[in-house]
């Protein structure tokens, strides 16, 4: 787990942090139906009308933030790419670099189901997965595997005084926030980031992190 910055030591002594801005993709039909659509689901769901509005609203909110965005990354999944394009077009930034480690988890045989359907067809399996991060869905990824790749992707972009925008999914956002807070695995599911929301995490050279915002939902506009 991350060690917090050495506060109350002056922040200036720690140097400038790296800022990670995480945007969850906009809404899809599967979001509304509460169906699992991870990295293994095909055909991939696209943004619906509301999802497009959420992406554009996130872009407008990001344009209001202080400081520049130095680089933009996006999960290779369709809905993340559509959200990233809407944001970067508005901010007049280059196309985001595709980064597979920021993909949603692969839920294997549970893809396309609701959580209620999973619990009915695989009694006890959902609770087991939540309780033990090393265990995953049949033919899917464990939360521990997803955590390892997401944290590796985060480490790759940490450069002091730079800002990285990543358009990603709920599971990676939860992982980053839990890691930044030094929270136990049990706290993972308590992080909420709605479609189109913005989460911001600063990380210093000493390895400490501060969560600046979680799941900020920009005012929805057309």
Local structure of 143: helix, strand or coil:
helix
CA dihedral 72, 74, 76, 81 (to 10 degrees): -90
Spatial distance between the Cα atoms of 175 and 187, rounded to a whole number of angstroms:
10
Spatial distance between the Cα atoms of 219 and 201, rounded to a whole number of angstroms:
21
Spatial distance between the Cα atoms of 125 and 122, rounded to a whole number of angstroms:
6
Q: Enumerate residues 6+ apart whose C-beta is below 8 A from 97.
A: 71, 72, 73, 74
Q: Tell me which residues are annotated as active site.
A: 25, 104
- The DSSP secondary structure of 54-66, one letter per residue, reads HHHHHHHHHHHSS
């Amino acid at each position: 787990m991350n060690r917090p910055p050495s506060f109350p030591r002056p922040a200036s002594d720690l140097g400038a942090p790296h800022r990670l801005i995480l945007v969850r993709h906009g809404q899809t039909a599967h979001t509304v139906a509460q169906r699992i659509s991870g990295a293994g689901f095909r055909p991939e769901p696209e943004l619906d009308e509301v999802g497009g509005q959420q992406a554009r609203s996130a872009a407008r909110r990001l344009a209001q933030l202080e400081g520049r965005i130095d680089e933009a990354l996006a999960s290779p999944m369709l809905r993340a790419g559509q959200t990233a394009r809407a944001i970067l077009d508005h901010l007049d930034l280059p196309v985001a670099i595709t980064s597979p480690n920021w993909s949603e988890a692969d839920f294997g045989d549970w893809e396309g189901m609701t959580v209620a359907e999973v619990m009915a067809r695989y009694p006890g399996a959902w609770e087991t997965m939540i309780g033990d991060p090393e265990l995953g869905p049949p033919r899917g990824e464990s939360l521990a595997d997803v955590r390892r790749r997401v944290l590796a992707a985060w480490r790759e972009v940490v450069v002091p005084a730079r800002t990285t925008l990543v358009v990603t999914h709920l599971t990676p956002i939860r992982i980053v926030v839990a890691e930044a807070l030094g929270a136990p695995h049990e706290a993972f599911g308590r992080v909420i980031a709605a479609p189109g929301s913005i989460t911001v995490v600063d990380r210093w050279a000493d390895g400490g992190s501060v969560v600046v915002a979680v799941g900020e939902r920009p005012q929805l506009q057309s």
